[in-house]
Structure 1
């Protein structure tokens, strides 16, 4: 593939590749809606009188389909056109968010109906995620992968800085339905931007789905750095989401100023994501996987700050640092994955990683919701922070992760 002006091997920045610019634009538009969705979802449940149990059920049903269908999505991503998969997946997500917006606006939303829409959204994500993981490596040359991964996150992270604040104001002034409707519209626009991207199916042998899965599992298990990273990620992701998404809004409603302050905390976290992206545009660490693991451990900071009921400025600073750490971790991990996993296996390897990291999420939500009946929310938040720190430390003790470094140009 070439641009109109110069071949790929002469390009100094991936931003000069038109299909990559369109890919980034689709992500930006989708992020403009998705950044408001968690806040709108949390307060749509809250408006019905639901507490931690109801929100935990909703969040768990959003995650369950990714566990069930993500492996199939990974096989499809290694067999079919990734642009077609991204198009259909975004349309399905738009339908789910649109239906949710209608039920909330008409006053017919229940915990069951919200959970059903989340089930559909999760199904869409199970096909989108593996296709996205392999798409960047198809659009840009290997030496520009880290810069491309950072540029891909830059516009979306910039939007996320303001979107939670705007979302908090929209939810407070007009209710959650408007934020959810906007999210649905952005999915539709992104779908059509992605439809004609040059993301043809990777060359793969003509085997069956089960054979592809068996081969994928063999490849996944043979890479110690990959399955140990996934195992640690299962604990870290579950603890982070249960603490931040489930308990965070509830603690903000009780100990802080509700939707307004929670919107500020989310904005601080998003500001950290943006700052982390800027760091990745300049800093190119050699030990990619080691950096990814270590920086992700910063997610424990805002949970610990909320657990200690520290003043809002301290919580905002902790959320900012967590965002920086997470974005550096994501870019470093994506680059390591794309450089050390062959293109024809990236869909399935991404799917196994995604399933592994998500396996504990529904259980984490439900256990956390039940734990709040026995212990104060602050105690449960502190436990989540401790789990993140422990998972990070143990993963850094695996020798193989320190061998997954930047490929020499």
Structure 2
């Protein structure tokens, strides 16, 4: 009698990584959706102003209207995120962004939006970002467990940067084919979907926060930590200038050069997509390259941020601008990893959020002023002269920061020295998207 053949053995399902839990998956999916909409909407807002008859000064005013509330409400947003369930703060901020972008889209599609209307709606979007970002940063960090945290954060960065590439390219194409209003409508829908995903986040694992000494006492303690480290305050001061001029270059002058010299929105969308591709390359490089003097290497990587302004000043053909934006994105991502790794290595965990709040505040404080003055600077110095000035204001503060001994000499701690290597916190690096400072910002 023949023996029956053994039943085929089932292959075990691949075990999900320890860090890829429910919250992490929801946060990553929501961030992808948001970035697909936001990166296109940033281009659409500029071209909506231009199509309504505005000039470079008007584009700068609308850009400043977005960043001014971000600066004003950032510290308040961080305090609120420490006192309320973070996912509720995130959902409320997404709802505000959804409504403001939907109304913006309706005005543009209806025709003849007024400058004050565009500024008001953009300001509401910036206010939502001020409350969203601190809550999102804490939520993502708390969602990751285990030894593979760095891999989880790297994957999150890659997903967001990839979404930024697609969003910028798609936004530029949609503006060229249809209207900036449709891109803004897509962004409103993206905020609605992302808010729905974040509504289902589980916060049961987060311990109830004990009341502290009050907001002012917490901020004072963080300020003492911030000012007591020369490498910290010097780089934040450096980036207060760098972020301001890069923001003016990319949010005001870039669309104008694209319209007048390069053929419209599509080439500028390709340039921003190249920046996103550079951040992906920078993330891959930072995952494999761990320089011993990480802060020195990171600071040297700030110099290439002058390349896009110089390329626009010439102006270079589309291919040259795309190459400059790619190198800029790659260098900025390497700096972002080095910066966040340094913060996690050097700053006590219980003070990290407050120090990061000053980092955010210092890095974005001058951005509203720079974007508002971009138009007058163009009239005074000419567009090319203003862009060369932006490039110089990236190079000079960066060179001065290298004079600080701690910037040159601070080294990465190793396991051999008895101290575990710090884990970098998550931070996508699209500088033009959300007024990012040294640490990079969540989208």
Q: TM-score, normalised by structure 2?
A: 0.84
- Distance change >3 Å, CA 110–CA 157, structure 1 → 2: same
SS state at 2:83 partner? coil
Match of 1:186 in 2: 190
- Distance change >3 Å, CA 336–CA 133, structure 1 → 2: farther
Match of 2:359 among 346, 353, 362: 353
Q: Provide the C-alpha distance between the structure 1 equivalents of 2:265 and 2:216, rounded to a whole number of angstroms.
A: 47
Matched, 1:40 2:37: no
Q: How big is the shift at 1:280?
A: 2.6
Match of 1:383 among 389, 404, 422: 389
Instruction: Give the CA RMSD over aligned residues.
Output: 2.4
Q: Provide the C-alpha distance between the structure 1 equivalents of 2:17 and 2:335, rounded to a whole number of angstroms.
A: 21
Q: How big is the shift at 1:108?
A: 4.7
- Any conservation in 2 of the 1:74–1:350 contact (CA below 8 Å)? no
Q: How big is the shift at 1:29?
A: 1.0
Match of 2:410 among 397, 403, 409: 403
SS state at 1:164 partner? helix
Matched, 1:364 2:370: yes
Match of 1:340 in 2: 346
Q: How big is the shift at 1:369?
A: 1.4
Match of 1:213 in 2: 219
- Distance change >3 Å, CA 59–CA 383, structure 1 → 2: same
Q: How big is the shift at 1:205?
A: 4.2
- Any conservation in 2 of the 1:78–1:348 contact (CA below 8 Å)? no
Match of 1:57 in 2: 61
Match of 2:306 in 1: 300
Number of residue pairs matched? Answer: 400
- Distance change >3 Å, CA 389–CA 240, structure 1 → 2: same
Match of 2:238 among 225, 232, 242: 232
Matched, 1:265 2:267: no
Q: Deviations over 1:377-405 (max 9, x none)?
A: 11111110111111222222222234263
Q: Provide the C-alpha distance between the structure 2 equivalents of 1:123 and 1:403, rounded to a whole number of angstroms.
A: 36
Match of 1:132 in 2: 136
Q: Deviations over 1:150-185 (max 9, x none)?
A: 211111211222322221121122211111111111
Q: Deviations over 1:171-227 (max 9, x none)?
A: 122211111111111112222322324373674543222222222222322233222
Q: Which runs of 5+ in 1 are unaligned?
A: 1-10
Matched, 1:92 2:101: no
Q: Which runs of 5+ in 2 are unaligned?
A: 1-14, 421-443
Q: Provide the C-alpha distance between the structure 2 equivalents of 1:245 and 1:313, rounded to a whole number of angstroms.
A: 20
Matched, 1:27 2:49: no
Q: Provide the C-alpha distance between the structure 2 equivalents of 1:190 and 1:65, rounded to a whole number of angstroms.
A: 22
Q: Provide the C-alpha distance between the structure 2 equivalents of 1:180 and 1:216, rounded to a whole number of angstroms.
A: 38
Q: How big is the shift at 1:15?
A: 5.0
- Distance change >3 Å, CA 250–CA 37, structure 1 → 2: same
Q: TM-score, normalised by structure 1?
A: 0.90
Matched, 1:171 2:175: yes
- Any conservation in 1 of the 2:18–2:146 contact (CA below 8 Å)? no
Q: How big is the shift at 1:345?
A: 3.1
Identify which range, 290-299 or 360-369, moves more after superposition.
290-299
SS state at 1:66 partner? helix
- Any conservation in 2 of the 1:269–1:319 contact (CA below 8 Å)? yes
